[in-house]
Structure 1
Amino acid sequence: MKGMVFTELLDMAEQALGEDVVDQILDDLALESDGSYTSVGNYPCRELMQIVGAISVRSGASIEELQRQFGAWMLKRFSQGYPEFFAGKTNVLDMLDAIENEVHVEVRKLYPDAELPKFDTRRPDAISLEMTYQSERPLVPFCRGLIEECITHFGDPAEVTVDDQSANGTGRAVFLVRLAA
Structure 2
Amino acid sequence: MKGIIFNLLEDFIVDGWGEERFEQIMTGCPLHTSSAFVGPGTYPDSDLFAIVERTTAELGIDTPTALRAFGRYAMPRLAARFDVFVRDHRHPKSFLCTVDGIIHVEVRKLFEHAEPPRIWFEDPSPDKLVLHYHSKRKLCALFEGLLDGTADYFSVPLTREQTACMSDGAPSCDFLLKFSR
Same fold (TM over 0.5): yes
- Contact 1:72/1:148, CA 8 A, preserved across alignment: yes
- Contact 2:158/2:179, CA 8 A, preserved across alignment: yes
1:77 is matched with which residue? 77
The letter of the residue matching 2:27 is D
Taking every aligned residue pair, what percent have the same amino acid on both sides? 26
Tell whether 2:127 aligns with 1:127.
yes
- Contact 2:30/2:50, CA 8 A, preserved across alignment: no
1:24-173 equivalence runs, <5 A: 24-34=24-34, 36-167=36-167, 172-173=172-173
The letter of the residue matching 2:175 is F
TM-score (norm 2): 0.92
Partner of 1:163, secondary structure, is strand
Partner of 1:174, secondary structure, is strand
TM-score (norm 1): 0.92
User: Following TM superposition, by how much is the alpha carbon of 1:168 offset from its aligned partner in structure 2, in angstroms?
Assistant: 8.5
Partner of 2:14, secondary structure, is helix
- Structure 1: distance between partners of 2:42 and 2:85: 23
- Structure 2: distance between partners of 1:157 and 1:79: 18
Deviates more, 1:79-88 or 1:117-126: 79-88
Tell whether 2:171 aligns with 1:180.
no
- Structure 1: distance between partners of 2:134 and 2:83: 25
- Structure 1: distance between partners of 2:114 and 2:122: 25
Alignment CA distance shift 1:158-1:127 (3 Å)? same
User: Following TM superposition, by how much is the alpha carbon of 1:96 offset from its aligned partner in structure 2, in angstroms?
Assistant: 0.6
> How many residues are paired up?
181
- Structure 1: distance between partners of 2:73 and 2:40: 19
- The Cα offsets for residues 74-113 of structure 1, whole Å up to 9 and x where unpaired, read as 2111111111211222311101111011111222221132
- Contact 2:30/2:47, CA 8 A, preserved across alignment: no
- The Cα offsets for residues 45-80 of structure 1, whole Å up to 9 and x where unpaired, read as 121111111111222221111101111122111111
Aligned Cα RMSD in Å? 2.0
The letter of the residue matching 2:163 is D
User: Following TM superposition, by how much is the alpha carbon of 1:138 offset from its aligned partner in structure 2, in angstroms?
Assistant: 2.1
- Structure 2: distance between partners of 1:56 and 1:152: 24
Alignment CA distance shift 1:112-1:33 (3 Å)? closer
